[in-house]
Amino acid sequence: MNACLASDWFMGGPVVFTALVGLGVMLMALWVSRQRYFPGREIFIVLHLGILWWLTAAGLELAAQAPDCKVFWASMAWPGIVGVPTFWAVFLWQYVNSIREPLSLRGYLALTIAPLLASCLALSNPWHQLFYGPGTVPVDGAPGSPIRYDHGLLFNIVAVYVYVFMLFCLAVVTRAALASQGLHRRHYLAFVLVTCVPWVANFAYVGYGWTLFGFDPTPFSFAFTLVAFAFLILGVRLFDLLPVARHLLLEELPDPVLVIDPRQRVIDANPAALELAGLCSEWQGRPLADWPVYGDDLALMLRTPESGKELLLALASSSRYFEVRCRDIERATRNGPFVLGQILYLRDVSERHCSELKLAEALATSEERLRTITRLHEQMQEQALCDPLTGLYNRRYLNDFFGRELARSQREHTPIALALIDLDHFKQLNDRYGHLVGDDVLKAVAGHLSHNLRGSDAVFRIGGEEFLLILPGATGDEAYARLDGLCGSLAASPLSTRDGPVSVTLSAGVAVWPTQGQALEELMQVADAALYEAKRNGRNQVRGVAKPVSAVR
């Protein structure tokens, strides 16, 4: 085989150039092998090994002197010629779609079938002449002269296979560039250029016979590919900012997402939406209202005026709750935004909603308990401050009430009248009619006193048949007059009891703040002395220490 090579082949300019490009490709493959895991990393390394194979065969063909040796090395290049577009297409697909799982061994074996088959067809050409025709001869008779290849039927079939992969690569990266933006769009546009340059050179060679150094220009174009990748890696951070395909974001969302057109037909849905509806086929273009499980409820919600807000979708069949967000998909036109459809995002809030329901139930229970406790507290307070028989205030509330009224009177410089009342001969009434009738009399007297006082006045039961009245703002004369009226009206009106009407009279003693005492105890002593005076003088009358108000009736 060494006889096929010129003794000074390595000194030829094209050969040296090819060797340098091959060295750069090896360094690129070595650098990529040490980088972190990115989509298509393994296939990217295999791709560069295919380029290296192609460059090696091309360099050996350039260096060979005999025509048969040149045709042999041209045939040996076909694993790289067919493998490079194949691996390039797979790499672009994995990179654009963010596929990080490496190919299986079976996948690699499947990808090598076409390159090996093309190589076998080329190497077996001397027996069938269908790959390179009889016109495959040197350009001239000079030693090492380039070969003019007569492309046969099998060559053209393999070329069509290669160009189909080329078109697929262009479609993949062009679609990705249109769907992305910013730095990732620049990455994809660079991939478009890297894809086009080698295959434009190859198409020019195959279709129009263009050559470089009398040779296929495609291997030399890999110098541009190498420089382009170096610029992408160092200049725009290729493989540092890894792309994530936008459609994969939709696919990986755990919550259902639907895209509908203006006629409410579903044009796209992610796996979560299909799983929730129980659909796997024949769903695209189906009206939303016809979708199982939740379509009808969702369509009805979208027809409500609040459809632009966040709504709650309840699925009775599975006790699940979804927070529905609806956003218009618009495209700007000269006449304003044009609505292309809507995107519906269903967020599963079942756990949160159930927690909210339980919390609301717990709050309602707590509020009811609080109301009950408040009611019981009020009842207990009322029982503590009020007499259970008559409902009047008792002695416990007396100090608080008098303290407030005393403070007010001191601010406003007004008097306070106090009266002690005792029912006449109440023990005899109990002995004659019994304690139940006595209780009826006490309740009736309490009602009589309460109904004949002002709203600002207060009446207290401080003993068995003893009552105390506080009349804020009343002078001595006013208090005497009002007590005298109460005394007279009670004596004139028999009280109803369970044993019939009973006549009762009262005696009262009056004291006035501040002239007859400063403290409550002092006023009660003065009033008690006046009450004793009224009883001693015949009862059924009102008395004060200073002067009587009414004579004995």
Q: Which residues are known catalytic residues?
A: 465
Interatomic CA distance for residues 170 and 159, integer angstroms: 17
Helix 78-96 vs helix 105-123: crossing angle, to nearest 10: 150
Question: What are the angstrom distances between the C-alpha of 230 and each of 50, 234, 504?
Answer: 18, 6, 118
If you search the block for the tokens 């040996």, which residue do you land on? 76
Provide φ and ψ at 123, rounded to 5°. -70, -30
Interatomic CA distance for residues 161 and 121, integer angstroms: 14
- Encode burial over 382-410: b for 16+ CB neighbours within 10 A, e otherwise: eeebbbeebebbbeebbeebbeebbeebe
- Count Cβ atoms within 10 A of the Cβ of residue 288 and give its class: 0-12 exposed, 13-18 middle, 19 or more buried: buried
If you search the block for the tokens 């009002």, which residue do you land on? 482
Interatomic CA distance for residues 327 and 318, integer angstroms: 26
Per the CB < 8 A criterion, the answer to whether 198 and 212 are in contact is no
Interatomic CA distance for residues 209 and 215, integer angstroms: 10
Interatomic CA distance for residues 470 and 308, integer angstroms: 66
Q: Is the peptide bond before 514 cis (omega within 30 degrees of 0)?
A: yes
Interatomic CA distance for residues 11 and 21, integer angstroms: 15
The one-letter code for the residue type at 185 is R
Which helix (DSSP H) or strand (DSSP E) does residue 342 occupy?
Answer: strand 336-348
Of 349, 353, 298, 348, which Cα lies nearest the Cα of 326? 298
Per the CB < 8 A criterion, the answer to whether 259 and 268 are in contact is yes
Count how many Cα atoms sit within 13 Å of the Cα of residue 453 in the half-sphere of its side chain.
24
Angle value at C-alpha 235, between 230 and 239, nearest 5 degrees: 70
In the structure encoding, which two tokens stand for residue 411, read together?
Answer: 């601010």
Interatomic CA distance for residues 12 and 58, integer angstroms: 13
In the structure encoding, which two tokens stand for residue 50, read together?
Answer: 């295919």
